[in-house]
Structure 1
């Protein structure tokens, strides 16, 4: 009897530890528009410190899924848990630990980069001293020492994306959602972006990355989910996806799953 109790106790501890490692848990996530599914029965989980790639063509349902994950879209059905917090029941608490970078971020062209960061810092309830420190940090890290005090409307696309990322990360979120962050950017900025994502994961942050760029998923992601027409076609490590599709590289696996 005692051995049974001990075994049950150890099993419970193991399950609790596994649950504590999960940052994102999605179950049966579905979104209908005019009766048609933009996302259907999406189920996956992402552990803390992982870079998880949501891979699919344009219009596959990636952005719809990410918008539901960050609370911008209400699911037709299904559940979302962020860091153990039910997003639908306590959205403000869940959103407080996440950062979201949309595919086309809204920036305030008449504000300087520093003013944009200060605004988001205040909305995120950071202290004045912390905001000042973060503005200085991102100005140096992003190479915007002079431009940080210029109006955002004068920025190049790469500079605009840099300031958008800083706005996403200024409150040091536990989880970051990036929707096509490398879209239309030059190789130099793409390399900087990759380094940032790797650094986030190395520091225990969880990153969910939506992309149609296979090379980016291959170089960054510990796990991937391939989505097409709103349906999840595969989930797992890259090696698991290759094994299940009997292919030698992610590009071939992707084509085999979604068709020509």
Structure 2
């Protein structure tokens, strides 16, 4: 769905919760939200949302912000540029050179029934497809218990090596934050007894206030299986 169509359909909700809009958008889209405002004719709604500098749009316009013109036609203003300095600039330059590349391949991890049972105990998800090997062998199409999908997600820090304090991925960053997941799919079940590992590819890096936002594609491989057990687009923020 196009962003403009999304805004039109969510007009009433956004009118009640205008400050949530920016949190829903990626940094790249947030940079161009004024252009969406013009196209969607939602000035009364979006005018209440703070711009990228934390300043109401109406106030910014009153302070002299003007649209550029080319051949007499109005053009959308340029997206605000976030200046990077010091370590943030160095890391950004390094990551720009790695875009599209595989940046990490983790070690194989054995998925045991004990691990699955412990996750079930913590989350309260005791479905028999996860915790009852005898019933799963008799009734499940997989003929085995399988790991919870959320267990796979919970293992991502370990699988990607992002919690190795002895060898941090970004040692110069003051803080590394899991900002969320843009997309998650579980193409194939991970059977108990399997070996899994994660492969990470960097697909985006964007300057944000105080640091950088990274978009990574993570695939959780299952040893001996062609299809991955999980494919994720992960959003991480680095603060310097």
TM range (shorter): under 0.3
Compute the TM-score of the two structures, normalised by the length of structure 2: 0.23
Return the structure number with greater helix share.
1
Report the structure number with the largest CA radius of gyration: 2
Compute the TM-score of the two structures, normalised by the length of structure 1: 0.22
Say which structure, 1 or 2, has more relative contact order (CA 8 Å, 6+ apart). 1
